[in-house]
Amino acid sequence: MYLKEFQEGIVDQAIQFHNELNPKLFQGKKLNSKVRYKLMLIVQHFINFINIPSIKLKDITISGSNAAYTYTEHSDLDLHLVVDIPRAAEMHLRPLFDAKKNQYNYNHNIKIQNIDVELYVQPSTDTHHSAGIYSILNDKWLSEPKVQRVTINDNDVNLKVINYLNKIKRALKSTDLAETNAIKDEISKLRKSGLEREVLRAQGHIDRLRQHIYDLEDRRLSLENKR
């Protein structure tokens, strides 16, 4: 993909402003009861997949643009398991949760009302920033989104997107797994509801980067039959 594709109006492709929450998920400001039930089932299935009996689930939340007024047809439904992680176990549980989450998301293609569900494990000590955060367990808003159009400088967003796009393009050409993972981690630190992340995700760049990492990992673990 060439940089010329990032012209005026790119923000509107990745984020839209609505006067109501996504009607596929919400009835007014309340999460649809059938949607809530299905999300609870997904979480239970994921916990069984993790297979950690002592997991301390503190809350289940949804966030991102589908928990705000900025959703598009490309927006995922970000489903977070908020867990307490003992400090002594943090060093090995965090990467384990990440690995399990990545494997689960890769193996399953779960949709709610044709919206992709993306699972995350969030330590309760981490601060989560999002325009809206809804507690599935308590069926209420933890951070209620506002109906307002934010003033955005398209130029600034485009420059940031181009910067991250260049990094992804470099990663896709690289055979260095450590370098590629470092770029993925940098992009992962973007706010889940951030415009730059929405643009990169809507254009499919994040998915391509993930697949490239999977391919590099497969290559590293494989043994070729050289004749």
d(Cα 178, Cα 160) in Å, to the nearest integer? Answer: 23
| pLDDT tens per residue across span 9-58 | 455 555 678 899 999 999 999 999 999 999 999 999 999 998 877 788 99
Strand partners, 30: 27
How far is C-alpha 109 from the geometric centre of its chain's CA atoms?
Answer: 14
Residue 203 has a pLDDT of 74
Alpha carbons 37 and 92: distance in angstroms, whole number: 31
Q: What is the mean pLDDT of residues 171-183?
A: 88
- What the block records as the tokens of 104 is 């689960």
Domain positions in the chain? 16-143, 151-221
Closest by alpha carbon to 130, among 143, 117, 115, 116?
143
In this prediction, residue 8 carries a pLDDT of: 44
Position 7 scores a pLDDT of 42
For residue 5, what pLDDT band results from cuts at 50, 70 and 90? very low
Asked if 211 and 168 touch (Cβ cutoff 8 Å), the reply is no
- State residue 189's pLDDT score: 67
Torsion, CA 84, CA 145, CA 195, CA 76, rounded to 10: 60
- pLDDT band at residue 151 under the 50/70/90 scheme: low
Average pLDDT, integer, range 165-189: 84
Q: In the CATH hierarchy, which fold is given to the domain comprising 16-143?
A: Beta Polymerase; domain 2 (3.30.460)
For the entire predicted model, the pTM comes to 0.67
Average model confidence (pLDDT) for the chain?
82
Helix or strand run (H / E) with residue 200: helix 195-202
**Model pLDDT, residue 114:** 93
Task: Name the phi and psi angles at 164, rounded to 5.
Answer: -70, -35
Summarize pLDDT for 98-148 with one digit per residue, the tens.
888 888 887 888 999 999 898 888 888 888 778 899 999 999 999 999 886
